[in-house]
Structures are given as C-alpha cells and as structure tokens.
C-alpha cells in the first residue's frame, strides 16, 4: 500500500488590522528610545558624580544594577507575554521605564537614583521579548530576519545617540532635566492603540 505525500502548503501571512502603525517602524523607534534612555545617563557621568559626590566605581553600579534587572525582567516577561499578549507587555514596559526615568530627575541621593535605574531596567527588559514576539507574528517567515535586522538598527543608533546627547546636554542644562526630555520624546509614538495587531494574535 503506497502513501502519497501531501504537498507543502505555506502558512498564510498574518493580515494586519486597518488602523494603527505597522509593528516594525513603531517598535524600531521605541527600541531606539529604549537604548537612548539607557545610555543617556552614562553620557552625563561627570555631572552625576559631582552632584552625588560619588566615584567611578560607585557610578558603575548604576550600569550594573540596570543591566542585571534588565536581564531578569527579560526572562520573566517573555512567558507573561505568551499569556496576556505582547502589546500589553510592551505598553506596560514603556510606562514603567518612562515613570522611573522621570523619577530619577527628582532623586536627591545616589541610592534613590540607583533604585530608579533598577526600575528602568524592569521596563526596558519587559519591552525586548514582547517586541520580538510581535515582530515575528507580524512578518511572514521569509521576511522575519530582515524585520529583526531593521529593528536592531534602533538599538545601535539609540545607544550612540544617548551617549552623545547626554554629553552635549550636560554642558547646556542641569543633568536632571535630560531624562524628562527623553521621556517626552518616548511617548510621542508609544500609545498602545497605535500598534497594529496581527490578526489572530494576542493583544
């Protein structure tokens, strides 16, 4: 008895909704701000060290704590996005890191700033896995590599811009005003309703 193999039929490409910005450009812009917001603090190192009277080793803890919390939040937020949907996690992540960034402008001690940078890591860490999941759901299989490549351009340019911007603005204004400025810029594109949801995908 012979069994004939069924021909391979590619899975249909997810259709996008009629309203909202496609995920790729919007998430790339948010990824830019994600890394700019993270790096802008390090461009203002001299001003921050002078304000809180700390040395380079203590300043390094701002980066260490931020990245450790970022890694932990990334690991935890991935399964959460699978359960409730990546769009909700993305919106929550942006809200958390924006609030913590604004709060850092009002810190009067190094320890308060350290806590704020840790909370920034929570929001930024929650963003990455959900953004990747949404991109993979929105792009057809043959274009996912290109989509992720474009998305990661935001990381490179954002990190570079953050360092340059922090350095430049620290000579023009008080360092505490810079986080507020970057947060205002973040919220221009970040409304949850602006993200187009692939059909059949979670919210």
Q: How far apart are CA 97 and CA 84, in angstroms?
A: 20
Q: CA 76 → CA 83, 92, 93, 130, 187, distances in Å?
A: 12, 14, 12, 11, 24
Q: Give the pLDDT mean for 89-103.
A: 89
The pLDDT of residue 180 is above 70:
no
pLDDT of amino acid 191: 47
Q: Which of 82-86, 92-96, 171-175 has the lowest mean pLDDT?
A: 171-175
- Give domain limits for the chain: 23-188
3 state SS of 109: coil
0.85 exceeded by the pTM? no
The model's confidence at residue 40, banded by pLDDT at 50, 70 and 90, is confident
Q: Which residues contact 76 (CB under 8 A, 6 or more apart)?
A: none
pLDDT of amino acid 183: 63
User: 């960034």: which residue's tokens?
Assistant: 101
Q: How far apart are CA 140 and CA 23, in angstroms?
A: 13
Q: How far apart are CA 126 and CA 96, in angstroms?
A: 9
Q: Give the homologous superfamily in CATH for domain 23-188.
A: MFS general substrate transporter like domains (1.20.1250.20)
Q: How far apart are CA 94 and CA 189, in angstroms?
A: 11
- The structure tokens listed for 115 are 């806590």
């Amino acid at each position: 008895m012979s069994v004939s193999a069924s021909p391979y039929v590619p899975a249909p490409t997810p259709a996008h909704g009629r309203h909202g910005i496609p995920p790729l450009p919007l998430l790339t812009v948010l990824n830019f701000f994600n890394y700019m917001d993270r790096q802008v603090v390090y461009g203002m190192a001299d001003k921050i060290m002078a304000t809180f009277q700390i040395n380079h080793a203590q300043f390094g803890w701002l980066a260490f704590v931020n990245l450790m919390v970022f890694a932990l939040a990334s690991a935890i937020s991935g399964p959460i996005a699978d359960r409730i949907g990546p769009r909700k996690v993305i919106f929550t992540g942006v809200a958390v890191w924006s609030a913590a960034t604004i709060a850092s402008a009002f810190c009067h001690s190094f320890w308060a700033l350290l806590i704020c940078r840790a909370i920034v890591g929570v929001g930024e860490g929650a963003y990455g896995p959900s953004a990747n999941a949404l991109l993979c759901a929105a792009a057809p299989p043959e274009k996912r590599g290109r989509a992720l490549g474009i998305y990661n351009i935001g990381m490179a340019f954002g990190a570079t811009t953050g360092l340059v911007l922090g350095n430049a603005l620290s000579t023009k204004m008080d360092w505490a005003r810079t986080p507020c400025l970057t947060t205002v810029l973040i919220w221009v594109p970040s409304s949850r309703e602006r993200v187009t949801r692939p059909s059949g995908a979670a919210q």
